[in-house]
Amino acid sequence: MNAGTCWVARDGAGLYREVAAVPLLRYLKTAFLNRWNLLVFLGASAFGLLSGRPDVVLPLVLAGEVAYLGLLVSQPRFRAAVEARQAELARTQAAQTAERMARRILAALPRELLSRFESLRAQCAELRQIALELRQPGTLSQPTPLEGFQAAGLERLLWIYLRLLYTHYALARFLEKTPEKEIESDIRRLEERLGRVPPDESDPQRQRMRKALEDNLHTSRARLENVRKARENFQLIALEIERLENKIRSLSEMAINRQEPEFITSEVDHVASSMIETERTMNELRFATGLDAAAEETPALLAIPLAQRR
């Protein structure tokens, strides 16, 4: 059963009807709120009220409206148009979310990391300009390989790179504010105190003291594990930043030296797919970065001057 017939009842399919009611209501709402439909419906209703026989005309208007909505919603082309519009709205919202996240990152990065990002971004922009100048006569209307994959690939990689820089910066601040040696010292101190409280089941007071110390010790060990994991991720993110810098430079140069759009696109896709695990790691480090999970849409980092992005 497709979305167009989702309102048809079937035995034992109560859950299906509950889920499928959402697109059905969206189709009906879109059809009803169409300006031409509203114009005709409101005009006919007004005529019915002024005709002197609203008890006859208004039910006919309502019946016609129900028949019209049912006929329109049953059309696959109409449902496809509604879904396309909904998908476009979702993409717009995702792009706005990504834009806000990019502005937040650029405003928070220290100058040295911002300069590092701008250096890589400027190189990509310069290489793009060189690629434009290398066009052959008579092909000015055709996109160069760099232009062809830039929107879907290079922008995505720059976006990953920017979030890597911010994640590295946030982890550095987290590790600076959470000294590992102090936590280790607390653990040793708690272990010593716990050793001086024997497990005497006949003494409720000692049992409460021991339980409090054990809980505190467990929390401190969890903190230490979290800090050590953050330090490992800090080192991993640093390596990923260097790797992605080289990848982006290599892809940009390749777009000029090798005029094969399909090959360039496949290379960009390969690099982007190799960063999936890295993106998952960044999403897991939201406790340190405070960033939401990355949106599927990518902000136009390559086309916007740095001053405007800040």
Mean pLDDT of 92-106: 79
* Distance set, CA 20 to CA 76, 170, 292 (Å): 15, 43, 29
Cα within 13 Å of Cα(159), Cβ side = 28
How many Å is the maximal CA-CA distance in the chain? 96
Coil, strand or helix at 23: helix
Q: How far is CA 222 from the centre of its chain?
A: 29
Query: Residue 55: what pLDDT?
Result: 76
Among the ranges given (61-70, 115-124, 279-288), the one the predictor scored with the smallest mean pLDDT: 279-288
User: Are the CB atoms for 255 and 127 separated by under 8 Å?
Assistant: yes
pLDDT of 18: 40
pLDDT recorded at residue 44: 79
Question: Which has the higher per-residue pLDDT, 291 or 185?
Answer: 185
pLDDT range class, residue 218, cuts 50, 70, 90: very high
- Span 206-221, average pLDDT: 90
Dihedral sign computed on CA atoms, order 244, 245, 250, 255? positive
- Please say if the pLDDT value at position 105 is more than 60: yes
pLDDT for residue 3: 42
Q: Residue holding tokens 């114009």?
A: 39
d(CA 190, CA 222): 14
Residue that is written with structure tokens 């055709």 in the block: 142
- Give the Cα separation of 104 and 28 in Å (integer): 39
pLDDT in tens, 178-200: 888 999 999 999 999 888 887 77
The residues, any chain, with a CB within 8 Å of residue 148's CB and separated by 6 or more, are 261, 264, 265
Do 145 and 288 touch, CB atoms closer than 8 A?
no
Question: Which stretch of 6-10, 126-130, 170-174 has the lowest confidence by average pLDDT?
Answer: 6-10
Q: How confident is the model at residue 239 (pLDDT cuts 50, 70, 90)?
A: very high
Span 270-281, mean pLDDT? Answer: 78
More confident residue, 71 or 264: 71
* Percent share of the chain, pLDDT over 70: 75
Average model confidence (pLDDT) across the chain: 75
Q: Please state, for a pLDDT cut of 90, what percent of the chain lies above it.
A: 13
Identify the DSSP state of 275.
T
Q: Residue 119: what pLDDT? A: 86
Of 121-130, 207-216, 277-286, which has the strongest mean pLDDT? 207-216
| Alpha helices (runs of H) in 139-203, residue ranges in sequence order | 145-149, 155-177, 180-195
